[in-house]
Structure formats: structure tokens, C-alpha cells
A and B are shown apart, each in its own frame.
Chain A
């Protein structure tokens, strides 16, 4: 982004404070443009003819330093790039690293379909959402355009995830494009030998393309300049991912250099970057070591500026950390992580259902809530205001106390005596030491649940309803 204060953006806005954008004033809207929480098109008056020049100018000023490239079509399409900063705390990182997993055209058909389905279906619940994988990379191993095209076709028939078509042979890429031309796949890749033909394909089919120049940033840059001159800026840069030793360190340096130059204003190289952690399989011989090393490389380049990556292992012990580190780095550091303190209903609780106490830390709340909901437990779940601190830390730090729990009950308007038949509260196992105090403060019966909410359903079977005293 070429400007960094709301005042600079304000100058281009209509200045009528009409409120169409949902903000009270144009100045307030300008501030949202600068922190990228609103889009310029939210200001509908700007779309009028008389503002068209200002709209265009402001759009150019607000454009992220790193170009945004879209791959795929429809709901599953991914956007990559789009970043403005080198450190996430300075703003946030936009457009999470897209994770692609490979298939190849010599796979037996049933294995191919099974693998694609696994990639498509993999999901992990986390803080109110599912973490999922993004793309399928189809590699040509056969060197046979027809075989490649058939494979691409099969993949498209199995998943709507965006594709990367991988071959250095323009004939092969063309065959793949013919079957995938409506899917906006990413081409992988143009290099210093084939660039002319691959550029023609990228332009003819209007698809994004990866430029591959292993450990040679001069060539990478001149390829990018050439492609831009020929008419496409839908580019992804691959400086090579070398999986070990000094070469891996060089790879790391190359990623830093490309992104630093881009963010600092070198438009010629301000494109998304691709990492290929799959190369780990060239240096590790057993599957576990290779999956580990691949995950290690993927983690480095998720943190340091990789925008799209191709991996091979689809073992859950590799996928889970890959998904979580991506989420970690791309979580917006500006957004709150607590839920509204309140009495929540899980399922359809009635007067006989248990009343469970937890905290309003989003991670805690969603973990507990999903543990309960997925086992179809009906209950009341009480998110006590602990200033967004989890159970164990809140007990240790004094944000979860008997007095807080009592106050939470009063504030919610829930009446344990009248609204339940049992007048009982269940505490988290990690808050066991509050049991006596809570009994004294609330006059209710207090039970202590398991330490981990994952064990609540089993605990409930044994302990609920509570035996009459």
C-alpha cells in the first residue's frame, strides 16, 4: 500500500459523510481502508461516474504491495499474495498460504481417486471452524500428454479444489489445460528453457503461471519482467526449494530477499512465492522422517513468506501441524479471542440437563462446546468472564473464582433453583480447588468434571444425572 495514514485516503473520498459505507464519517471509513478492514467499493458513491478518476487513483494507492493472484474457480478458489508487511504484528498477513498435495499420472485410478478424496475431505475443527487443505497438484510423471489429461480429468471429476498442473513440457501442460480450461488452474512451471511456449499457454488460456528459477534471482526477475511485458501479472515465483544443508539456507535467504524487495516497492518481483517442501522426499529415506522434514520445511516457509506450497505426505501427523502453523501465522493479531460471557445452550437442554462452567477464552469455549456438541450432549454451558483467559491460567491468576462464578450466575438471569431440577454445577477438572468455595458462595451442589473436556461425554455417562443425596 502506497499510503499509510487515513488523511491521505480521505482526500480521495466524496467527503459527504453520507453513511452508505456503514461508517459515520468518510474519515472513519478512510481509517478502515488503511487497516484493510473495509473495501473501497463499500463506498457506493465512489462508484459514480464523476469519481471514476479518484476511484482509480485511490485503488492504485491502496493496492497491496504483493500482487494478489487467484487460483481455481467458485467457492474453493484461493487467493494468494496480497501482503503489505514483513511482520504480522505490523498489520496482519493476508491470504493464508495455500496448501497443495500431489497426485501423479502413473497412479492406478482407484488409488488416485482415493487420494484425491482424502485431500478433499481432510478437516480438523478449531476455534469454531474447520481447518482444511486447499489444492491438488497433479504431477506428470509419464511424460505422456494424453495420460496427464486423463488424470486431470479424473481429479476434476472427484474434487472442486483448485489445481496445479505440474510439468515442464508445454505439450503436457497444454493437454492438461484443455481439460481444465474452465478451472483457472496454476501452471507449474515456466523456466529459462520453456518460458516462451508456457507464456503463450498462460496468455491463451488466461491462467496464472509459476516461474521457476532455482537459486537464480536475476533470471527469476527477468522472467517476471518478460511475462509482465507480454501481458500477464498472474505470476507465482519459485526460487527453488532445496531440502538440506547450505542449499536450504540459501533457499531461506532467497525467500527473504524476494519478499523484502517486494514489500519495499520493487514491483518487478512483488508476486506470491511458491515453496515445494515435497523435495524433502529426495533426501529422507523412510516415510516418517520424510514427512517430518517436509513439515519442518513447510513450517519455515509458512512463517517466512511462502504463499503456496506443494507437499506429498498426507499423514495426519504431517497435516495437523501444517494446518495449525498456517492458522497461527495468519490469525489476525488485531481480532479479539474471547467470546461474550453468557449462559450458552448446547443442543436442546431442559431442566434435567447439566450446567457446566467454563471460561470465555475463545479457544477454551469452542473446544468444550465442540466436544459436547459432537457427542450430542444437551447442556447449559456457562462462559464465565475471565478476561479471555483459559481455565488453568485463570485459576492460577485469579480470574476464575467462586465470586466470579456467582456473579456470572446472577448476571445471566439463570436461576439454578428454578431453572433446573438438580441445582448442580459442574466445574472443569482443572478448577477442582474451587469446589468448596463455589458451594459456599452459590449454595448449589458442585461436581468436578474431568480435566479435559474431551472426556466429558464419558464422564457424563457415569455421573449424570447426579445421585440424590
Chain B
């Protein structure tokens, strides 16, 4: 007779965090999404997983460089973030939409925070799913941009991306608290930095535990996924075993997979390599396998770009979820 015990030291549940607010809660979303709540590694038989994985699809506030296989899906909406948002929800089955306000970067277009906030309003009008708001990644400008965006989206319980150690995270935390949003706590593949930032958000900035999601960084398959995978797995195991600084749901910038040359290059630059075959098939599977690996490490939410990748990753994560 075959027997195996359940894991005994997974005693600490992961925090549940809800994104989006319906009219009953002071927002205008049609439905909300709850992440977290796990008592075991994902899909494990030790304990039921309370919520499935969710996918938020990227929308940008200006045309940006994208792999050809990705871009061909967005040619018709590339200049209109609201239409773009509609398209990913209607045609590609996105659970959520991320609006990246990259044009606010002083080195790109230096769009004002006020104008960027208008784009956020447009997107909120265009779709009724919960949304994520991303800055440009510029540490000087992001706090201001996210502040204005948070005000424009007051009451909608959006995810603000992101607070990090190299910018004024306190301003972003405040913007979230004052307007009823959730903060994305983003660090770069380092478990101790993640603990430090979470601690600061909780203790120094008083962000409630149900308003923090972590992004411990996603590196693409072949480009550091080994780090990203184990970093997430360690974070999740530490959380389950009682480290309260790490018991938050996780989010992955799975789109990073498109940075891998295997995803976008026409053919291998190396003469000794075997043929790489058509790139339109390589790209989506690169994004899928990157996301799938992290889903097994404990990641809850995926930020993604290619419709096929979204469809296949949804199918497999929901199969494992049961």
C-alpha cells in the first residue's frame, strides 16, 4: 500500500488581496478578483487552492517597440489605450488590464502626470475589469505619476505598480492608502530586499496587509529564470512556514520573456546552432513556459502580452487548479 504524509509545517496561510471594487464598494468594476489565500504550494494536494491564477494584459500609453509576433495583434489599437484595453478584454479574454504610463518618462515624452491620469480615466471607462496602473520606471517621476493616477482612479481598488526601494515608496504607499488601492512591492530577485520593502510598507507607511502584492522580478527562460524561479519558490515556502513579511500574493512581469532572443529573432545568430524554425511559434511558447514555471513556484498573477500565450497559460493553470 502506498502512503505519503501531507506537509506539516505549512501552517501560515498566504494573505488574501482583492483587486477592483464594484459599485457596492464605491467603485465601478463589474466584478473583483481575489488573489492569495493558499495553504500549500500551488496545485498541491496538501490543501485546496482557494483562488485560481489571473492574467492581466499589457496596454501602453504610446506605441512602443515590440516583437513582431506581439505587435501584429495590436496594430489597429496601438495609438488608443482605451481601444487597446477593450480589445484585450473582449477578444483575448484578459482578466485584468495593465495600463503602462511609459510616455511619462522624461527621456521618452515627459507626458505630465495630469495628462497621464486622463489616460487612466479613459481606460477605466473603456473596461469594467480591475486594472493595474504602471509608471514608466523612472524613479524621480513615478511617485508623482502614480499619485495623480491613484487620485483619478479613487475607489476602484487598482494595483499601483510599483513601489521599490530606489524611489520614494512612501508617496506611492500614501497614494494607495488615501484612494483605496493596492501596492505592488517590487524588488530585484533578492529575498532580503523583498522582506525589507514589505516591512517598510507595513511598518513605516502603514499599508494594510490586505493591500500588498509582491513582484520579486521575472527573468525570461534562458535569461535568469533559474534565479526568478527559486527566488519565488523560496519566498512562497518561507511565507507558508510563518515568515509574515513574505505572505503576500505574487505577480510576474511575464512579458519579459519577449526580451529573449529566442522569442523574437528571425534565426539563430550562431552558425553551429540547429535551425530555430519560425519565430512566430517560438515567441508565444517562450512566454508560456516562463509563466508556467513561475506559476509552479507560487506566482498568482501574470502580466502578459501575446493572446496565444494568455490562452494556453490560462488553460494549463486552470487545469492544474482543478
**A300 and B320 alpha carbons, distance in the complex (Å):** 10
B44 to chain A, nearest CB (A): 6
> Which chain A residues border B229 with CB–CB below 8 Å?
303, 328-329
A320 within 8 A of B: yes
> If the complex has contacts A321-B286, A325-B221, A328-B229, are A252 and B293 also in contact, measured as CB distance less than 8 A?
no
B246 to chain A, nearest CB (A): 14
**A320 and B296 alpha carbons, distance in the complex (Å):** 20
Q: Across the interface, do B282 and A261 meet the contact criterion of CB distance under 8 Å?
A: no
B225 within 8 A of A: yes
The size of the chain A interface, using a CB distance under 8 A, is 61
Q: Across the interface, do B288 and A246 meet the contact criterion of CB distance under 8 Å?
A: no
Q: Across the interface, do B2 and A246 meet the contact criterion of CB distance under 8 Å?
A: no
**A453 and B268 alpha carbons, distance in the complex (Å):** 12
A430 to chain B, nearest CB (A): 11
A454 within 8 A of B: yes
1/0 per position for A105-125, CB-CB distance to B under 8 A? 000000000000000011111
Q: Across the interface, do B226 and A333 meet the contact criterion of CB distance under 8 Å?
A: yes
B262 within 8 A of A: yes
**A244 and B275 alpha carbons, distance in the complex (Å):** 30
Q: Across the interface, do B222 and A252 meet the contact criterion of CB distance under 8 Å?
A: no
Q: Across the interface, do B271 and A249 meet the contact criterion of CB distance under 8 Å?
A: no
**A457 and B271 alpha carbons, distance in the complex (Å):** 12
Docked complex: B257-281 residues within 8 A CB-CB of A: 261-262, 265, 268-278, 281
> Which chain A residues border B44 with CB–CB below 8 Å?
253, 256
Which residue on A lies nearest to B44, using beta carbons? Answer: A256
> Which chain B residues border A324 with CB–CB below 8 Å?
221-222, 262, 289
A299 within 8 A of B: yes
Which among A130, A264, A325, A455 is the interface contact of B289 at CB below 8 angstroms? A325
A194 within 8 A of B: no
> If the complex has contacts A261-B3, A292-B288, A316-B276, are A303 and B296 also in contact, measured as CB distance less than 8 A?
yes
A204 within 8 A of B: no
Which residue on A lies nearest to B284, using beta carbons? Answer: A292
> Which chain B residues border A464 with CB–CB below 8 Å?
none
> If the complex has contacts A299-B292, A320-B262, A374-B272, are A218 and B320 also in contact, measured as CB distance less than 8 A?
no
Docked complex: A412-461 residues within 8 A CB-CB of B: 452-455, 457
Which among B2, B233, B322 is the interface contact of A89 at CB below 8 angstroms? B233
**A130 and B272 alpha carbons, distance in the complex (Å):** 9
> If the complex has contacts A317-B285, A325-B221, are A125 and B273 also in contact, measured as CB distance less than 8 A?
yes
Docked complex: A111-153 residues within 8 A CB-CB of B: 121-126, 130
> Which chain B residues border A374 with CB–CB below 8 Å?
269-272
The size of the chain B interface, using a CB distance under 8 A, is 48
1/0 per position for A311-324, CB-CB distance to B under 8 A? 00001111011001
**A299 and B135 alpha carbons, distance in the complex (Å):** 33
Q: Across the interface, do B296 and A304 meet the contact criterion of CB distance under 8 Å?
A: yes
A268 to chain B, nearest CB (A): 9
A248 within 8 A of B: yes
Q: Across the interface, do B322 and A246 meet the contact criterion of CB distance under 8 Å?
A: yes
B133 within 8 A of A: no
Docked complex: A290-305 residues within 8 A CB-CB of B: 291-293, 295-296, 299-300, 303-304
**A374 and B293 alpha carbons, distance in the complex (Å):** 31
Q: Across the interface, do A454 and B4 meet the contact criterion of CB distance under 8 Å?
A: no
Q: Across the interface, do B292 and A296 meet the contact criterion of CB distance under 8 Å?
A: yes
> Which chain B residues border A253 with CB–CB below 8 Å?
44-45
A363 within 8 A of B: yes
A51 within 8 A of B: no
A257 within 8 A of B: yes
Which among B45, B284, B293 is the interface contact of A303 at CB below 8 angstroms? B293
Q: Across the interface, do A328 and B45 meet the contact criterion of CB distance under 8 Å?
A: no
A134 to chain B, nearest CB (A): 15
> If the complex has contacts A299-B289, A325-B293, are A316 and B277 also in contact, measured as CB distance less than 8 A?
yes
B23 to chain A, nearest CB (A): 36
> Which chain B residues border A88 with CB–CB below 8 Å?
230, 233
A69 within 8 A of B: no
A99 within 8 A of B: no
A375 within 8 A of B: yes
Q: Across the interface, do A317 and B278 meet the contact criterion of CB distance under 8 Å?
A: yes
**A125 and B273 alpha carbons, distance in the complex (Å):** 6
B60 within 8 A of A: no
Q: Across the interface, do B320 and A292 meet the contact criterion of CB distance under 8 Å?
A: no
Docked complex: B227-257 residues within 8 A CB-CB of A: 229-230, 233-234, 237
Ordered by A's residue number, 23 sampled pairs between the chains whose C-beta atoms are within 8 Å are A89-B233, A89-B234, A123-B274, A218-B2, A248-B319, A249-B43, A253-B44, A256-B44, A261-B4, A291-B281, A296-B292, A304-B296, A315-B281, A317-B278, A318-B285, A320-B276, A324-B221, A325-B293, A328-B293, A371-B269, A374-B270, A452-B261, A452-B269
Known contacts A87-B230, A315-B281, A370-B270; can you find 4 more A-B pairs with CB under 8 A? Answer: A261-B3, A304-B296, A321-B286, A325-B221
